[in-house]
Amino acid sequence: MTSSVDGLVSGLSTSSLIQQLMTVEAAPQDRLKTKVSTAQTAVTSYQSVNSKISTFKSAGDALSQLSSWRAIKATSSSTSVSATTSTNINAATGSLSFNVTSLASKQVTTLPVTTFYAKDADGKLDDPVQLNVPDTITVTTGSYDADGVFTAGSGQPVSVDIHADKSAAGIAKALNAANAGVTAYVMKTGDTAGVLQMTSAKSGASNGFQIDGLDGAGSGGEVPLTTYASDAQLTVNGGGGSTYTVNSSTNTFTNLMAGVTLTVSQKENNVTVDVSNDTGAIADKFQAMVDAANAALTEIGTQTKYDAATKTGSPLTGDFAVRNMSQQILGSVSLGVDWSAEKKAGTDISGKINTLKELGIQLDSTGQLSFDRAAFLNTYSEDPARAQEAGIRFGDTIEKMGGTMSTNLTSVITGRNNEISSLNDQISNWDVRLAAKREALQKQYSDLEVALGKLKDQSSWLSGQLAGLS
């Protein structure tokens, strides 16, 4: 690139002149950059509105779900039995009384062992004692009956190679690495003694195990001692004084009542768990929808407002479609629950909820929505099915309306982003054009300085010649 020659002959600030000329040349590019900045600001505003509208739509969707209206809460009469609930359209209310007759446990098998030889002449413990066991021991999972008779389960026995290290610590390490459903470790009981403890990986009566090869391997020829695994068990009070038992391999029961999970922590009699409709959770869905609607109304107002005093607008002041979204949200409350399809079909809707006031939703003096929790709960208590039908229908309306709004906003955002991409391409093209223009101007002024320099040299020569003649 030709560099500028700044006034060497002419005395002119050619670099300043070039910069001024380039400012004029760059005016179209500057206008493009302004358009990009304006478009980016608008996109940010559209995205902000769309975020609120999406939350509004999701709130409507939650309100329209049958599972929301089947919300339940469970209370336990005992601090040792926790009762939790989950969303389940098959959830039912009711009461359950039972005794916790046993807790789930793991099998624990122990073997007293000599871990080290006695101290040597230097007072140090000698090498680990190698137990009198075969090179391979076999682990079989299964269960024990009341008499301690073992029955193998469906899994294949696992052979564990221990020939490299038959010490208690070596056997424990090999068992842990074999992933045979048993964990093991050595618990020290003295300088040279300890207990090899083996525990089933899972609790429950069906998760017991048997290890072949360790009989007589104890420090005194002992055989392993076993505390058998057990299931947690409930004795449930049935109708007419009857009872039945329910077992679980863990201390958690999920199959007693739909949507309810019980966790027991100690044996106890006469425990009662009551399950009822969680009307508070349903009311929370309405409150969430109202909050989401107000957040959307506020954001739309912020992004489209016009300050008459300062005559300044917001990024989306001129967008009628966005401003109209506020009217749609407020209109949905004014119009109430939509039963138009039923009316068209000739269905009698006189007994249905029409105004949202019955569900606790109203417009307040500030132009936003308010929710009267007590009013909703009163309507629900009088006729749960009637309130549910209206609530689900209104939720469907909100979800559909919010979905349409969000789709339209997403389309506008995509269009604006495409416009920004095109403008940035034009800006990049101008960068190339302006660089070429600057180079041309620098060469032009450089050539001018060279030409002026030559003329000055010629003038000086002629002056010298003329002076010589005189």
Contacts of 116 (CB under 8 A, 6+ apart): 125, 126, 127, 128, 129, 191, 192
Structure confidence at residue 1 (pLDDT): 46
DSSP 167: S
The predicted-structure confidence for 397-417, as pLDDT tens digits, reads as follows: 999 999 999 999 999 999 999
DSSP 216: T
pTM: 0.70
- Domain spanning 27-67+281-428, CATH architecture: Up-down Bundle (1.20)
Instruction: Look up residue 430 and give its amino acid.
Output: W
C-beta separation of 322 from 45 below 8 A: no
The predicted-structure confidence for 63-102, as pLDDT tens digits, reads as follows: 999 989 988 999 999 999 999 998 777 888 899 999 999 9
Q: In which region does residue 133 sit, left (phi positive, over 0), alpha (psi from -120 to 50) or beta (all else)?
A: beta
C-beta separation of 423 from 35 below 8 A: yes
pLDDT at 425 over 50: yes
pLDDT at 11 over 90: no
Instruction: Look up residue 302 and give its amino acid.
Output: T
The predicted-structure confidence for 438-459, as pLDDT tens digits, reads as follows: 888 888 877 777 777 777 777 7
Q: Count H helices and E strands in the chain, helices first.
A: 9, 20
Domain residue ranges of the chain, discontinuous segments joined by +: 27-67+281-428, 72-103+232-277, 108-227
H-helix or E-strand containing 371?
strand 369-371
The predicted-structure confidence for 181-228, as pLDDT tens digits, reads as follows: 999 999 999 988 999 999 999 999 999 999 999 988 887 777 788 999
- Report the candidate in 269, 141, 127, 281 with the shortest Cα–Cα distance to residue 201: 141
CA distance 452 to 449: 5
Percent of the chain whose pLDDT exceeds 70: 97
CA distance 151 to 247: 19
